[in-house]
Each structure stands twice: as structure tokens, then as C-alpha cells.
Amino acid sequence: MRLAIIGQGRMGQVLRQVAEQKGHAVVAQAARPTPHFWADLTAEVVLDFSHASQVPEIVRVCLAKGLPLVTGTTGWASQGPALQELARTYPRARWLWSSNFSRGILLLKLLLERLAAFWSQLPDWQAALVEVHHAHKKDAPSGTAYELQKYFPPLSDISSLRVGEVIGEHQVWLSASGEEVLIIHRAHHRTIFAEGALWAAQWICQQTHFVGPWEAAFLS
């Protein structure tokens, strides 16, 4: 694929490296795309790992240009409904997003969706989520924490810890008197997000129309 990457930070750099290792061509990359960047673009798909403040403009331009877009940037949930409304006015829009492209978090969402259907049978159980990320992370709670909560609403109690260089950890605590279940997803390196985003990019390029979260391609 011919890719454009928005973001040149930790994720932008890893994504470029993984994409090139896999034989894709990164035809453009910018931290803050200018009109010139968009005008000259020859990419087949755009991958955004930048900052929440940039997401609305990136979505608007990609929709207007008919460019498939994979949004990995987090922290823009408040703008989500308006942007999805806009996307609905483009019958051939191709836009997917995820705050966590790792396959492990996809698995966790699958598990939580099953658990949510069963939870009312366990009225004495409590659920809580702990998420830990590096000290440079701009948003808290993490976008992934909110998404996990969406699949399993009893996770209303979220604790965030920002420390050191932790790439990302999400702990789901389920507990009752005398027992507990702890499910942990730990990201050991950023490559897992880059690989997932490239998988998503390949998938969206094969669609004629799709607007939604990445997991909607797998979950009910």
C-alpha cells in the first residue's frame, strides 16, 4: 500500500518502520499536515497517530477527498458524534478508528461483550478497571479504558496511573466476597499497535463504505 502517516512521534516513527519492513511505501508523513501536504498526496490510505486537536480537520479532508482513513489518535471522543454525522453525508466514506489496535485488546473486548450479557446473574460482583501508561500520555483515562467500558458498562470505576515509560496496561478486576478474577492486557512494545493499524488499513482499502470503530468489523 501507499501510505500517508500523520504524526511523527513515538507511534508515527514505529508505524513507518513496521510499514516499510512489511514492504509498504510511506509516501508522505507530517506531524501537522498543511494544505500543501494534502494537495500533493498520492497515498491510497491515511493513518493518523497525532493529537486529538488535529482529528476533526484530518477527518474532514479525508472525507472530502474520498481517502480511506485509519484514526489511531485518542482523546477526541467529544467530537465523535459530530464527525460521524458528517461522515454519514458521504455515501462512500471509509473511516475506521480504534484507540488500541492490538489484537489482545480486540480479544478482551470480545470477552467483555460475552461477560456483559451474563453479568446480571452476578449481582454481588463488582467490576473495576485500572489503566497504566507512560508519563507523557496526554489523555486520562485512556481511550481504550472508555472503549472497554462501552463493551462492559459495569466497568464504571476507572483508575488511571501515569508513570515512567509504561507502554500500556489495562487490568479488569472482577471481584466478589472470597474470590476475584483479574484479566490483564500488557503492551510490551508499540509494534503491536502499528501491525494492527496496518491490518486495519488493508481491510478498509478493500471496503466500498465503512464508518465505525475497528472492532465493529468483528464484534456484534
Active site residues: 133, 137
Looking at 10-18, 81-89, 113-121, 175-183, which segment touches ligand NAP (CB under 6 A)?
10-18
Question: Mask: binding to ligand NAP, 64-103, rule CB under 6 A, as x and -?
Answer: --------xxxx----------------------xxxx--
The DSSP H or E segment spanning 109 is helix 103-118
Q: Is 33 an interacting residue with respect to ligand NAP (CB under 6 A)?
A: no
How many residues line the site for ligand NAP (CB under 6 A)? 22
**Position among 1, 5, 7, 108 found at the interface with ligand NAP (CB under 6 A):** 7
Contact 49, 73 (CB under 8 A): yes
Closest CA to 28 of 57, 7, 14: 7
Nearer to ligand NAP (CB atom), residue 72 or residue 154? 72
Which cell is 66 given?
474520498
| C-alpha dist (Å) from residue 3 to 36, 52, 136, 191 | 17, 20, 27, 17
Q: Is 8 an interacting residue with respect to ligand NAP (CB under 6 A)?
A: yes
Write out the DSSP string of 150-193: HH-TT--EEEEEE-TT---EEEEEEEETTEEEEEEEE---THHH
Q: Is 9 an interacting residue with respect to ligand NAP (CB under 6 A)?
A: yes
Q: List interacting residues with ligand NAP (CB under 6 A).
A: 7-12, 31-32, 49-51, 53-54, 72-75, 98-101, 193
